[in-house]
């Protein structure tokens, strides 16, 4: 499969068209941003690590009946994907209070949530991805009520599968963000699932093993990403 025109360059990935109009190639970069682009840097080999982790997780989810955009891993940094019409909703699932949940609602960091929280954010960098409910999303024309209910159900199912997958690898899945897209009348999981888009804490020490190490200059960023990759791939 050959890359043709670049369709889009985002913060962590480039997307290319291919000679098949139904397929695109996602190329994972080492660039890292946080706080909506206010903090910028690079994480050495992040693109390779996030591609490997994402391909493994999408494959596992497919094996459990979750449809995703993954077709195949093409190379270290490249993932061949179905071309989605991305839904401009970021779906966040939370099992343990951290990040904006702590800031917005005053939860103590680390509070275990009895029921996972699912949130919708508008995917719009200029507006700083505001939190929204179903009526906002429908009023904005980004999704229908029916689609939003599919996104919520899908996020809950994915959360259950990922939580167990990571527990078996001695990682707590604190929270994560998903993106979905439309494809031939279906809704597929898109984008990536990686330490850039999830919070992972070590099961025993609670050490942060994700992008929070970059966000808050905790050091050992590459080591944490590498360790997550090792644990994700080790039980193959």
Q: Which residue is nearest to ligand UDP (CB)?
A: 99
How deeply is 159 buried, as exposed, middle or buried, from its count of CB atoms within 10 A (0-12, 13-18, 19+)? buried
> Least distance from C-beta 35 to ligand UDP, angstroms?
7
- CB-nearer residue toward ligand UDP: 77 or 211: 211
Alpha-carbon distance of 210 to 196, in angstroms, equals 6
Helix H or strand E encompassing 57: helix 46-63
> Least distance from C-beta 143 to ligand UDP, angstroms?
17
- Assign 135 to helix, strand or coil: helix
> Least distance from C-beta 173 to ligand UDP, angstroms?
9
Give the pairing type, strands 3-9 and 13-18.
antiparallel
- CB-nearer residue toward ligand UDP: 187 or 209: 209
Alpha-carbon distance of 192 to 79, in angstroms, equals 10
Any idea which residue has 């369709």 for tokens? Answer: 7
- CB-nearer residue toward ligand UDP: 14 or 177: 177
Alpha-carbon distance of 21 to 141, in angstroms, equals 26
> Least distance from C-beta 28 to ligand UDP, angstroms?
14
- CB-nearer residue toward ligand UDP: 80 or 155: 155
- CB-nearer residue toward ligand UDP: 18 or 197: 197
> Least distance from C-beta 165 to ligand UDP, angstroms?
16
- Assign 27 to helix, strand or coil: strand
Residues near ligand UDP (CB under 6 A) are: 90, 92, 99-101, 129, 175-177, 197-199, 211
Alpha-carbon distance of 178 to 66, in angstroms, equals 13
> Least distance from C-beta 194 to ligand UDP, angstroms?
9
Alpha-carbon distance of 162 to 173, in angstroms, equals 7
- CB-nearer residue toward ligand UDP: 3 or 107: 107
- Report the number of secondary-structure helices (H) and strands (E) in the chain: 6, 15
């Amino acid at each position: 499969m050959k890359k043709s025109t670049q369709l889009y360059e985002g913060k962590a990935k480039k997307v290319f068209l291919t000679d098949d109009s139904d397929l695109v190639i996602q190329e994972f970069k080492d660039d890292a941003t946080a706080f909506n682009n206010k903090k910028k840097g690079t994480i050495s080999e992040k693109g390779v690590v996030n591609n490997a982790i994402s391909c493994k997780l999408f494959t596992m989810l497919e094996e459990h009946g979750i449809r995703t955009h993954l077709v195949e891993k093409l190379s270290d940094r490249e993932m061949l994907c179905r071309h989605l019409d991305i839904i401009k909703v970021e779906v966040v699932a939370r099992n343990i209070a951290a990040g904006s949940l702590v800031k917005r609602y005053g939860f103590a960091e680390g509070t275990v949530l009895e029921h996972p929280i699912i949130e919708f954010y508008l995917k719009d960098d200029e507006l700083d991805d505001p939190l929204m409910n179903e009526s906002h999303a429908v009023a904005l024309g980004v999704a229908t009520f029916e689609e939003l209910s599919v996104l919520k159900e899908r996020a809950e199912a994915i959360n259950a599968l990922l939580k167990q997958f990571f527990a078996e690898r001695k990682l707590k899945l604190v929270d994560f963000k998903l993106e979905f897209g439309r494809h031939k009348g279906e809704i597929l999981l898109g984008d990536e699932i990686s330490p850039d888009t999830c919070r992972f804490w070590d099961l025993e020490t609670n050490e942060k093993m994700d992008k929070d190490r970059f966000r808050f200059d905790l050091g050992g960023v590459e080591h944490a990403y590498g360790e997550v990759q090792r644990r994700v791939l080790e039980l193959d």
